[in-house]
Amino acid sequence: MQLPTGRVVLLESRMEPVARRRRRGATRFSELAELLGSGDVGLFDANAPLDVGDLELCDFHALRAILTRLGWLAEDPVDFACRNCDQNLHVAPCSGLALGPFMDGELHDPELDARLDLTVAHRISPVVIAGQVVTTVTLGRLTAREAMPLHRALRRRRLVLSPRVVAAMGVVALGEERDVRVIAGALERASERAWTDVTEWFLQAHYPPRLMAAFVCEGCGARNDVDAPYEREFDVGWDEQTGEETAADDLSNAEDFPSFDQFDEAAKGIADGLFEAGEESLLFVVEGGVAACDDGGEPLLGSYLPACLGSDRTANPGEITVYFRTFRAIWREEGPYDWRKELEETLCHELAHHRAGERGGDPVDDQEREEIDDEVRRVVGARENLRALPRALGADLVAFVRTTWPIWLVLLVLSLVVMSSMR
């Protein structure tokens, strides 16, 4: 099994999985060390026993997720709202972790397997240290053993930033300052925003993007990605020093996004300028409700339905739809952007589908489907995707037989009757 640093390890179990839960008051994440220390699961490197404390912290957390996925470590379910339709989803995060890339040694995706560059300083909100204002933090590599003082400190309701804890966070420097005692004092006095910046860089350093699980909403079909493992040293948007939630103004820009009526008026104005002669009959809809999703579970900015024969036997000239909620969601999640420009590009894209279809083919649609297939391979792994094909085909065949067996039975009886009459 490959881990994020490229290290290959072997897991051996001597019994069926029994989910181990952390003891009350124990060190954060200590259940992994206890499991491996119990002998129920062995961890080996090149056929020699491996001490979990020697793993780099990102490998430690990946192993934590994998063993949870395999049923050896317990996890609490989480609830969150679907990013598209707001339906409540209740999931066990690691149950959706894709194991294929770890099992098959495919951790080479430039995005999903990217690791934070620890050779450079990273930008943070201003911090006053030794009378100077600094705006960068430098982090270093950590083993699970070196991070242990931080994990012990996280048992408490309030995190006390002692020099020992700051060292266990891997903070090498604030600006040019490298004295861990001075850094600890500066971080204790730092603003909430600056502290959040530091913890976000910590999480990026030790949790590769691949440590997530994708869950599809049964209500709308949207893909929702959840951290796996979900429990981490710090919660984004949560101040570990005060135990208070980050101010709502820092998390949402929804109040600045146009209303549906304003968006609708702008969309129709842009559409009027883009539709060419002969396209006036195309139906154009600005949808304010739940957005449709593509085959990969991504909420759509826009969609195109080609001309077809309606149920009343009248021709449907084709329909272009843009989805207000998806544009608004991008604003909320990523911050302000030029939504008018994005709206125009979306309409041009859907018109390209229409015009290609009018010419007898749609290479744009073919390309999008290839991109969705590529994304599936990236997440679940190329080899696992190939292994899944026969299973999917077998499931489809079984479903086909289950639903059509009465027809086949009738055909068999008729065949026997015909054969009997020919004798």
Q: What is the model's pTM?
A: 0.82
With beta carbons less than 8 A apart as the criterion, state whether 278 and 313 touch.
Answer: no
Angle at 238 between CA 233 and CA 243, to 5 degrees: 95
Per-residue pLDDT at 408:
56
With beta carbons less than 8 A apart as the criterion, state whether 64 and 232 touch.
Answer: no
Q: Give 64: exposed, middle or buried? Use CB within 10 Å, 0-12, 13-18, 19+.
A: buried
Per-residue pLDDT at 375:
85
Span 92-100, average pLDDT:
96
One-letter identity of residue 397: L
Angstrom distance (rounded) from CA 198 to CA 188: 12
Angstrom distance (rounded) from CA 212 to CA 244: 25
The beta-strand segments (E) located in 107-236 are 122-129, 132-139, 171-174, 212-216, 223-227
Per-residue pLDDT at 398:
52
Angstrom distance (rounded) from CA 390 to CA 381: 15
Question: How many other CB atoms sit within 10 Å of the CB of residue 325?
Answer: 18
With beta carbons less than 8 A apart as the criterion, state whether 115 and 58 touch.
Answer: yes
Per-residue pLDDT at 16:
93
Angstrom distance (rounded) from CA 137 to CA 375: 33
Angstrom distance (rounded) from CA 101 to CA 2: 8
State the sign of the Cα–Cα–Cα–Cα dihedral 256, 262, 267, 273: negative
First to last CA, the chain: 64
Q: Taking each helix axis from N to C terminus, what angle separates 339-358 and 260-274, rounded to the nearest 10 degrees? A: 40
Per DSSP bridges, beta strands 41-45 and 10-13 are antiparallel
- What are the pLDDT digits (tens) for 38-85? 999 999 998 799 999 999 999 999 999 999 999 999 999 999 999 999
Span 258-282, average pLDDT:
90
Per-residue pLDDT at 374:
84
Per-residue pLDDT at 163:
97
Per-residue pLDDT at 360:
74
User: Residue 306: which of 264, 223, 364 has the closest Cα?
Assistant: 364
Angstrom distance (rounded) from CA 241 to CA 238: 9
Q: How confident is the model at residue 282 (pLDDT cuts 50, 70, 90)?
A: confident
Per-residue pLDDT at 104:
95
| Residue 89 token pair | 């989803």
